[in-house]
Amino acid sequence: MASFTCLTCHVAFAEADGQRDHFRSDWHRYNLMRKVAELPPVSRETYNERVGQQQQQQQQQAGKVCGFFYCAYLSFKILK
């Protein structure tokens, strides 16, 4: 029987340690920010998907920026 809950994320825990670990998680903090913005909480799966998508976008953008500066550097060296 689950006697520990998180009302923000709508999840229950069998032990207090699990609840404490949850309160320290990025997923819980994300749902707290959504609660302040008066948005509904997202499930753990949805949160993980969003984080994965954001990381992919950041990697793609970093590759484009690095590629741009690398090419600009080579162009400068060739022109000299």
Closest CA to 30 of 43, 17, 16, 14: 43
Amino acid at 19: Q
- At residue 77, does pLDDT exceed 50? no
Three-class SS state of 10? coil
Q: How far apart are CA 46 and CA 31, in angstroms?
A: 11
Q: How far apart are CA 29 and CA 44, in angstroms?
A: 12
What are the respective helix, strand and coil percentages of the chain, to the nearest 5? Answer: 70, 10, 25
Q: What is the pLDDT of residues 11-60, one digit of tens each?
A: 999 999 999 999 999 999 999 999 999 999 999 999 999 999 999 988 88
The ranges assigned to domains in the chain are 1-42
